[in-house]
Amino acid sequence: MGLDVIEFVMEVEEAFQFRFPDEDLGELTTPRRLIDYLTAHLPTAATHCCPSQRVFYRLRSAVAARLGCPRSALRPDTSLLTLVPSHARATTWEGVRQD
């Protein structure tokens, strides 16, 4: 896992007030895997919305806003590393965190 992805995961931890165990980080390679992991490990909110749907839409909105791409470009099986050119990853993930 590259430094940019680790920084992104740290931002997700902050956003969801959740700490990923180090041994589980290698599994978080796509939005779908991240959503599944968070859904399984976060407390369930008292809403009628599917937890994985809520997580995915929040993640997709932040990434689409930062990259200026259509939301449809981010699917649950999209590799996080393919979303951003390598030279722009650090600034892009910082921007996603702020969104």
56-79 per-position pLDDT tens digit: 888 888 777 777 778 888 888 887
Q: Is the pLDDT of residue 39 over 60?
A: yes
User: Which residues span the domain enclosing 92?
Assistant: 3-98
Q: At what angle do helices 51-67 and 31-41 cross, to 10 degrees?
A: 140
**Rounded CA gap, 26 and 5, in Å?**
10
18-37 per-position pLDDT tens digit: 888 988 888 887 888 888 88
The fraction of the chain above a pLDDT of 70, given in percent, is 78
The fraction of the chain above a pLDDT of 90, given in percent, is 0
Per-residue 3-state assignment (H helix, E strand, C coil) for 71-85: HHHCCCCCCHHHCCC
How many structural domains does the chain have? 1
What is the band of 95 on the pLDDT scale with cuts at 50, 70, 90? Answer: low
* Tokens 């956003």 -> residue: 15
Q: Residue 96's pLDDT is what?
A: 64
